[in-house]
Structure 1
Amino acid sequence: MFDPILDQVRHLPPLVRFCIMMLIFFTVPPLCRRVRLPAVVGLLGAGLVIGPFCLGVAPKHGEAVEFIAELGKLLLMFFAGLEIDLIQFNASRNRSVGFGLLTFGVPLAAGMGVGFAAGYPLIGALLIGSLLASHTLIAYPIVDKLGKLGNEAVTVAIGATVFTDVAALLVLAVCIPIHASGFSPNQFVIQLLELAVYVPAVLLGLGWVSRKLFALKPAKEGQFALLLLVVALAAVAAEAINLEGIIGAFLAGLAVNSATRDCEAKHELEFLGNHLFIPTFFLTIGFLIDVNTFARTLVEHFWLVAGIVGGLIGSKFLAAEVARRMYGYTWHEGLTMWSLSLPQVAATLAAALVAYNTKNAADERLIGEPVLNSVIVLLVVTSVLGPILTERYAKQLPDAPISQLAPAQPVAIPVDEHHALV
């Protein structure tokens, strides 16, 4: 009965498909905000509905859409590096690194345990662990609104983001080439040497060049082009040494972080990225979700899903509790650190997709579809649970200023849910 209608839907003109995409971008994020869900969750759902496994409005491999989505993925990671407040990180550097080590290492170990239990080899298990090791500060606006940014525990949790983001991406950078071409001691040493050259070259070299160019105060359109050029160069250079482009984009964001503080074009790029390129990226991830396979994953791989979600929640709590005892924080300060480090949203999903698309010579993926589906469940659970717990526990925090630390600077993390951190 519905076959003729579905057949017509699957052969809509490109401009009609574009209209449908814009309608989704116009309606879905506001609806998500009304029900207190990150917009990424709604966009994934919309992508599922119009994707090839459901209505078939959008093809699975549309060339134009894939290019926009690829650029959106790069901009997502570029903005993540761009918006990290390095001044605030330096204000609580030692304790932030300490908590960063804990909230990275404990979930990494938990994720590796889940990976080994699911039958993955060392590289696959390590990659699964890295997906749990970072965190996304989507609850930042809550502590900002409550006036708790002066609390040391909050500052430490925010500063730890720098460490966990970089460390998780470096694990990804090592795992992907090893899986794709196999482990070779010589190749591994070469990869480490390339990383040792590439990372400083982007952070220091590209950062120095961009500061010099921005100091010339080019016109707004010149600044806009320069920002895109920086992202593209860092991504291309990363791919040239067998790294993923998202790693280069993130490092590029860190490199130009201070140079773009007063850059007019930065806001235009953020606007365009947050409302076109990045939403398109999330929408195309929805295209990959087969409802039947997703449901079967929840049933047949229940313990994998439970292990990943439960492992993340438990390990992040353990890391926050150890840090609380080390630094002498109150119970509610420890719980706030835990809730801030819970959400795994945009960059976790981007890294999981990269790992899923990475195959070796035997055509085996680095992580399978059950893990990718489990990460999507993790995204939904933690993006809802984290902000709810943050609002509950942060209200109990004292308003005292940070002791023995420089005053906290405002962190430029936007409320816009497309613009989530790693």
Structure 2
Amino acid sequence: MELLRDLTLILLATTIVGHYSTRIGIPAVIGQLVVGVLMGPAVLGWLHLTHDLESFAEIGVIVLMFIAGLESDLQLLKRYLKPSVLVAIMGVLIPVAGTYLVGIFYHLNVTESMFLSVIFAATSVSISVEVLKEMNALNSREGTTILGAAVVDDVLAVVILSVLVSTTGTAVADGAAASSSLLLTTLEQIIYFAAIYFVVRWVAPYLVKIGNRLMVPMGATLMAVILCFGMAYVAELVGLSNVVGAFFAGIAISQTSAKSTVDRHIEPIGYALFIPVFFVSIGLNMDFKGLGNQIGFIVVLTIVAVLTKQLGAGLGAKLAGFHWGSSMAVGAGMVSRGEMALIIAQIGYQAKLMSPVRYSAIVAAIIVATLLAPFLLRFYMDRVRKGQVDKSKVRPAE
């Protein structure tokens, strides 16, 4: 069976590469991304992104973000809500402006340039989550702000995409229908976020209580997984990313007595199978065919995409009172585009907002930016930690 062969190759390769990546001080996620590039259509052609692998990858990112929510401190998320909003807003506005100008410079029309800016406004925090977990910094000031900003960023990107597709895409016939569709989507998303409070306050504890009474193995964990997948599914129904639903499902379970039990059960499932497939799947999207004439566009777009997100989100953190070192670490945590940008690119391509040649080049730029992101985050977080250690060594004069 082809799926079993592909899974065997992926798990074997990511295990070996992850081990040696960690051993030489490189985030293991980088090794997994590189495995996808090397074994995919871009180099060896041993693996291709089939429907089955896409399904495994989707479950992988859902489980990863559920774990991130499960291990997050809700009080810290509330405390850093204002910085998160500032980081998200600045981290959207500046990349939108920068990548729009890149599109105009390379003679894309206004619609294509607007679509390009929406793609690179998005953030995929799943890779940053993995790096932060490796560094035990998920609940640090920087890590908490990155998580909160990613949720706000996702909402902003979805709203901008909805406006763009509704007003310029081929799927909507007239302006009245576009306005109605956008208004309905916005209302549904508001209701969804309002419902999260009830899930955290009442639904999650009730499900855990039921799970503890079930005469089946790991009853509480099963109920937690049901809540995770259910919230991810409903998030997609209202036009949000499924990772938003998974993250808040993790937050909800983290407020119950089953937190440590669920965490202990769910991590082996995710990291032994689904999460490695997700990271490899990003690399499998890389394909060098037909990109020879697009190298300049890819290089410029990648540089602008990385710098505008890092500086934009970093400026938001600075405005919120962070020092420059922490601000740059937060900015680096927002650089990764990953699956969010790939999904938005696919939606826009299907709505005929981008030519096939430009679409391939954009996918390449997304993947290169995603490959760079863990290095940047590790670099700046190490500097933040070194600064904290240096300060702790300073003794007041006697």
Residue 112 of structure 1: aligned partner = 96
Of 26-35 and 256-265, the range deviating more from structure 2: 256-265
Residues 172 and 351, structure 1, Cα contact 8 Å, conserved in 2: no
Change in CA separation of 1:177 and 1:365 when aligned onto 2, cut-off 3 Å: farther
Question: What is the Cα deviation at residue 354 of structure 1?
Answer: 1.5
The aligned residue for residue 4 of structure 1 is: none
> SS at the partner of 1:301?
helix
1:264 matched residue in structure 2? 261
- The CA deviation at 1:203 is 4.1
Q: CA deviation at 1:162?
A: 4.2
What does residue 419 of structure 1 align with? none
Distance 2:49 2:34 in 1: 15
Partner of 1:89: 77
Q: Using a 3 Å threshold, how does the CA distance of structure 1 residues 386 and 284 change in structure 2: closer, same or farther?
A: closer
Decide which of 289, 297, 311 is 2:308's aligned counterpart: 311
Q: What residue number does 2:396 align with?
A: none
1:165 aligns with 2:150: yes
Structure 2 CA distance for aligned equivalents of residues 134 and 288 of structure 1: 17
* Matching residue of 1:74: 62
Write the distance in 1 (CA, Å) between the matches of 2:95 and 2:363: 14
The residue number in structure 2 matching 1:418 is: none
Residues of 2 paired with 1:237 and 1:144: CA distance? 30
Which of 212, 222, 227 is matched with 1:225 structurally? 222
CA distance in 1, matches of 2:48, 2:127: 32
Q: Distance in 2 between matches of 1:373 and 1:384?
A: 18
Partner of 1:130: 122
State yes or no: 1:192 paired with 2:186.
Answer: yes
Task: Note if contact 2:306-2:335 (Cα within 8 Å) is conserved in structure 1.
Answer: no
- For the pair 1:252 / 2:245, whether they are aligned, the reply is no
Distance in 2 separating the partners of 1:39 and 1:375: 19
Indicate conservation of the 8 Å contact 1:235/1:245, yes or no: yes
Residue 372 (structure 1) aligns with? 363
User: Offset of 1:75 from its aligned partner?
Assistant: 1.6
Residue correspondence of structure 1 range 243-392 to structure 2 within 5 A: 243-259=240-256, 262-292=259-289, 297-324=294-321, 333-344=323-334, 348-359=337-348, 362-364=351-353, 368-392=359-383
More helix by share: 2
Distance 2:257 2:158 in 1: 26
Q: CA deviation at 1:48?
A: 2.0
Match of 2:84 among 91, 100, 107: 100
Matches of 2:132 and 2:291, distance apart in 1: 28
CA change 1:203–1:29 in 2 (3 A) is: farther
Deviations 1:110-166 (A, max 9, x none): 111123211445455244223389993535765869xxx8xxxx63x3442343022
- 2:303 partner amino acid: A
Aligned partner of 1:28 in structure 2 is 17
Partner AA of 1:99 in structure 2: P
Aligned to 2:45, the other structure's residue is in SS state coil
Q: 1:198 corresponds to which letter in structure 2?
A: Y
CA distance in 1, matches of 2:143, 2:330: 8
Matched, 1:211 2:205: yes
Distance change in 2, residues 1:297/1:82 (3 Å): farther
Q: 8 Å contact 2:154–2:240 — kept in the other structure?
A: no
Distance 1:335 1:31 in 2: 29
Aligned pair count? 368
Note closer, same or farther for the CA distance 1:386–1:320 as it changes in structure 2 (3 Å cut).
Answer: same
Counterparts of 1:361 and 1:312, CA distance in 2: 26
Residue 86 of structure 1: how far off its partner (Å): 0.9
How has the CA–CA distance of structure 1 residues 247 and 297 changed in structure 2, closer, same or farther, with 3 Å as cutoff? farther
1:349–1:375: 8 Å Cα contact kept in structure 2? Answer: yes
One-letter code aligned to 2:360: E
Percent of aligned pairs with the same amino acid: 20
- Cα distance in 2 for residues equivalent to 1:226 and 1:298: 49
- In structure 2, runs of 5+ residues without a counterpart are 105-111, 394-398
| Aligned counterparts of 2:156 and 2:199: Cα–Cα separation in 1 | 23
Q: TM-score, normalised by structure 1?
A: 0.75
Query: Given that residues 135 and 344 in structure 1 are in contact (C-alpha distance below 8 angstroms), is that contact kept between their aligned partners in structure 2?
Result: no
CA contact (8 A) 2:317 2:330 kept: no
Does structure 1 conserve the Cα–Cα contact (< 8 Å) formed by 2:229 and 2:246?
yes
Q: Name the amino acid aligned to 2:13.
A: I
1:204 maps to amino acid: F
Matched, 1:39 2:31: no
**2:62 aligned counterpart, secondary structure:** helix
Gaps of 5+ in 1: 1-11, 401-422
